[in-house]
Chain A
Amino acid sequence: MSETVLSVEDVRKDFPITRGVLERLRGRPQRAVHALNGVSLEVKRGETLGIVGESGCGKSTLARCLVRLLDLDGGRIVHEGTDVSGLTGPDRRAFNRRVQMIFQDPYSSLNPRMSVRQILTEAMRVHDMRPAAEIPARIEELLDLVRLPAGSADKRPHEFSGGQRQRIGIARALCVEPEVLVADELVSALDVSVQAQVVNLLLELQERLHLTVVFVAHDLRLVRHISHRVAVMYLGKVVEVAEAEELFERPRHPYTQALLHAAPSLDPAQRTRAVAARGELPSPIDLPSGCLFRTRCPHAFDRCVVEEPALTPRGTGHVAACHIDAPVFEAS
């Protein structure tokens, strides 16, 4: 495939837990939620990279690190050969112009007191995109691009439906003409019939504007539909990466297998009463030793307790982090 646009190298992110006065006096050690535990990934130009996993797997934290909304606690992120992990001031703004984020919740990510025109103008001003005189025409163009009705510019977010609000979010990201869009749960707050409209729009914009998209979501069907490649995360690590078809047809990590089996099928004939994965996510404060999935894995053996498996090749462009080469799914 083509060149790498963003490369994530062994990225770590901890969120310290506030200690009470008493705990500090007693000298209790500082504890932390380990949100990202060494994530490595590459984003290729023009592709859609899907990132899936359940709550607490670190996918949203990773998205925020990618656009530098969060500082890293280890590792680095390289954008077209430049390490962007430590960028500040104008350099960071320049980076953000090229790598933009769209947020999950269109209700809280748009300022309710600003009209659509003000929201878009602000974004363009911050990045010095256009001379003031050209902004109104550009706004019309953007609204047209995301298929919002003419005359939307002077309305405020609350006058729009959820799907339309998400289009405003997309227009705001696009007004700085970025190369990479990081979409965090873009459509999860929307009803299924409206989801499809927004997903179609994203696919169309990607073609027209040659965008690279990082699509973070928990909906496996959706991720399979729009992604070229998919990365599966569990407890702050990437456990498997492959091209979408390959990953869904031949998953090689027991967690990926469980995830795919747990997702309800639309075919009533494929029903089963067996549970796809036992147990629950371990605490991200006290991580298990060795393989992070071993506490729920039907295949776990001695080695999994002591040695953390690395991502190793399982075919063209397919990597998985498991000590077993080709585990066979077992329902519990």
Chain B
Amino acid sequence: MSLLRVRDLTATFGAGASRLTAVNRVSFDVAQGEVLGLVGESGSGKSVTLRALLRLLPVGGAVSGRVEWEGRDLVTAGDRELRAVRGRQISMIFQEPMTSLNPVLPVRVQIEENLRAHTGLRGRARTARAKELLDLVGIPDAGRRLDEFPHQFSGGMRQRVMIAIALASEPRLLLADEPTTALDVTIQDQILKLILDLKDQLGMSVVLVTHDLGVVAETCDRMAVMYAGRIVETGSVTDVFARPAHAYTAGLMASVPRASAARSVLHSIEGTPPQLDRVPPGCAFHPRCRFATDICRRDVPALEPRVGERLSACHHADAVAAEGSPV
């Protein structure tokens, strides 16, 4: 049973001839208790997709399509209706906690602000809950640290504070936008495992945006790979890693250095991801793809079951899958 159903989500910026499509008819589901990874390189549209779910686009951005949440469509919902969901049932955490926390307020105020907005807790009960939340996210000496300011926390601790704020409303879905990209690997490891533990404890679902295939392999149940604003492949993490069915997924996996082939030539994908105003016709990946044929230059491949149940948007999914896993 899907908690969230996204259909043909499209996000555009600007108008007229200069209109850019950052997210192009993206569809996916998130099941109860599941961790979905949205993975892609810079400019692939993964972060915009996440923000578009809650209509959090900057000025000039427009969202269309459907985002079905508890019988409502968040794309057409009124502001009031959306506010009841945003930050309450669906919370979000960002990459750089220093810019999303208010530097001039102690963290107590920032956590309690969310508790005031989304719960009925008052006075002492509210403060007690704020302390409980800091404990929950593993901040030592929570009682004292409540009165400290964001700059007094390390990067990892700030991300924990962000998570505490996001959890204040007991959300059912957590949207995490590159939550560990700015962190060191031992701290990243702590934060990812914290998110997984909290997901189990609180029965949440998580959508995790990342550029790191390792993070996906380590934390997600299912994954969706994005390229030039579209989902090009989606399936269970185990399946996709075992046998990618899109040339881009396979290329991405092969670009990651492997233990077995030290100092050999790394597989690289020639060229660079396209800019949004110059997305190639047909399959956007075709200029960089070694499987490309005429059909790829002409027809946009649909995301449909191509190898077993796996959804892939590659005209040559069978040929790609036949090569097996590059990792």
Contacts and interface: CB of A to CB of B under 8 A. Distances in A.
Interface stretch (A2-10, A94-102, A262-270, A309-317): A262-270
Contact of A266 (B211, B217, B238): B217
Given A203-B263, A280-B156, A268 B186 contact: no
A263 B327 CA distance: 16
Given A200-B266, A225-B266, A274-B193, 11 more contacts: A54-B184, A54-B186, A193-B251, A193-B252, A193-B255, A224-B257, A261-B189, A263-B189, A264-B189, A264-B214, A265-B214
Nearest to A258: B186
B327 A267 contact: yes
Contacts of A203: 263, 265
Interface residues of B, number: 48
A220 interface: yes
Contact of B269 (A196, A220, A228, A262): A196
B157 A280 contact: yes
Q: Report the interface size class on chain A.
A: 35 or more
B189 A266 contact: no
B185 A259 contact: yes
Nearest to B180: A264
A300 interface: no
B21 to A, nearest CB: 20
A267 B186 contact: no
Interface string A251-284: 0000000110111111111010111111011000
A186 to B, nearest CB: 13
A225 B263 contact: yes
A311 B164 CA distance: 41
B137 to A, nearest CB: 14
A269 B237 CA distance: 10
B257 A161 contact: no
Contacts of B187: 54, 280
* Interface residue SS majority, chain A: helix
B262 A273 contact: no
5 contacts: A193-B251, A196-B266, A259-B186, A262-B186, A280-B157
A46 to B, nearest CB: 12
Contact of A275 (B41, B190, B268): B190
Given A191-B42, A277-B186, A280-B157, A196 B213 contact: no
A221 B270 contact: no
Interface of A: 48, 54-55, 161, 163, 191-197, 199-200, 203, 218, 220-222, 224-226, 228, 244-245, 248, 258-259, 261-269, 271, 273-278, 280-281
B47 to A, nearest CB: 14
B238 A221 contact: no
- Which 4 pairs from chain A and chain B are nearest by CB? A264-B214, A225-B257, A196-B268, A54-B184
B311 interface: no
Contacts of B212: 264
Nearest to A264: B214
A271 B184 CA distance: 19
Contacts of B42: 191
A225 B267 CA distance: 12
B186 A269 contact: no
B255 A192 contact: yes
Output the residue of B214, B258, B261, B263 with the most chain A CB within 10 A.
B263
Contacts of A265: 214, 217-218
B284 to A, nearest CB: 14
B189 A275 contact: yes
Contacts of B262: 224-226, 244-245
Nearest to A56: B184
A266 B256 contact: yes
A264 B218 contact: yes
Contacts of B17: none
A102 to B, nearest CB: 18
